[in-house]
Structure formats: structure tokens, C-alpha cells
């Protein structure tokens, strides 16, 4: 961790899954629980080996915290409706991937132009990205 503290799985809301070796690579996953996700934090992935020719390696892994907000909206099904998801706390030029889901939980497809229009948005200089979903009136009429 950036404060020099060691990370121990099962303590302080942190879980480490060391994964397994597959070919010549291994993926280790650090899960950081919600209460620990309040500030941007650097964690370090430290790799050691018993192989004599393999040097000790350390890589910074940035935990970047951001916010998501939206507005509650009362709508009519007679006209297209637009929903906006505002993501804040981002680094300019580094947008996040936004996936909209329909009421059944299925991902809204960018290719379904009959029912939807999607815009992922870009990150402005203040770190805000606005992702927009327009639901066309024909699709709104199918919602119950």
C-alpha cells in the first residue's frame, strides 16, 4: 500500500486471490471492500520468485475512486426519453466504460438503433464524463 503497510488477505476489507499459474503467467486479484474505497490509493503488486535469474519486481496499481450520479425522472412513453449518468473524479482524457442495462438486466446494445441511442461521452477538464442513453418511444411503450 502507498503508506508502506503490508496487505493481508482477510484483514481491513482486503481479499487477495493469488490465482494459479497458467503457462508462463499468473493473475493475482486484490479485492478492496467498499469502506476502503473512499480515497485514491496506490497499491503495489510485488513479484518474487525462487528462480535465481528472476529479479524482484514491483508495479504500482492505482485504485482510482470516482462518483456516479443520475437524476430521477418521471416520463411519458409518447416521446423519446434521455437519461444521463454523470461520472466524476476521473482523470482528463481517461474515460470509463459505461454499460447501460435494460429493465430485465440485459446490456443495451449500441447496434440496437431502433430502440436506443447511446453516447459514452468524454472526460472534460474537471474530470466529469456524461454518458447518455436515449430510449426511443417505441421501446418505452414495451416497458411495464
Q: What is the pLDDT of residues 16-46, one digit of tens each?
A: 898 888 888 888 888 888 777 778 888 888 8
Residue 29: which of 65, 73, 61, 67 has the closest Cα?
A: 61
Q: Which residues of the chain have pLDDT under 50?
A: none
| Structure-block grid coordinates of residue 34 | 467498499
- Residue 136 is predicted with a pLDDT of 94
| Cβ atoms of residues 45 and 61 within 8 Å | yes
- Residue 85 is predicted with a pLDDT of 94
Strand partners, 119: 132
Q: How many helices (H) and strands (E) does the chain have?
A: 1, 10
| Structure-block grid coordinates of residue 23 | 503457462
- Residue 20 is predicted with a pLDDT of 83
State how far Cα 81 lies from the chain centre: 25
- Residue 87 is predicted with a pLDDT of 94
> Does pTM surpass 0.75?
no
- Residue 98 is predicted with a pLDDT of 93
Amino acid at each position: 500500500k502507498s503508506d508502506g503497510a503490508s496487505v493481508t488477505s482477510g484483514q481491513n476489507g482486503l481479499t487477495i486471490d493469488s490465482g494459479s499459474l497458467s503457462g508462463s503467467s499468473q493473475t493475482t486479484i486484490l479485492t478492496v471492500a467498499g469502506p476502503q474505497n473512499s480515497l485514491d490509493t496506490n497499491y503495489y503488486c510485488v513479484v518474487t520468485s525462487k528462480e535465481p535469474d528472476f529479479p524482484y519486481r514491483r508495479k504500482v496499481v492505482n485504485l482510482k475512486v470516482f462518483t456516479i450520479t443520475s437524476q430521477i425522472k418521471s416520463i411519458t412513453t409518447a416521446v423519446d426519453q434521455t437519461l444521463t449518468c454523470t461520472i466524476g473524479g476521473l482523470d482528463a482524457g481517461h474515460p470509463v466504460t459505461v454499460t447501460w442495462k435494460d429493465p430485465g438486466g440485459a446490456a443495451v446494445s449500441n447496434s440496437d438503433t431502433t430502440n436506443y441511442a447511446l453516447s459514452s461521452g468524454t472526460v472534460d477538464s474537471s474530470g466529469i464524463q456524461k454518458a447518455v442513453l436515449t430510449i426511443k418511444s417505441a421501446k418505452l411503450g414495451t416497458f411495464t
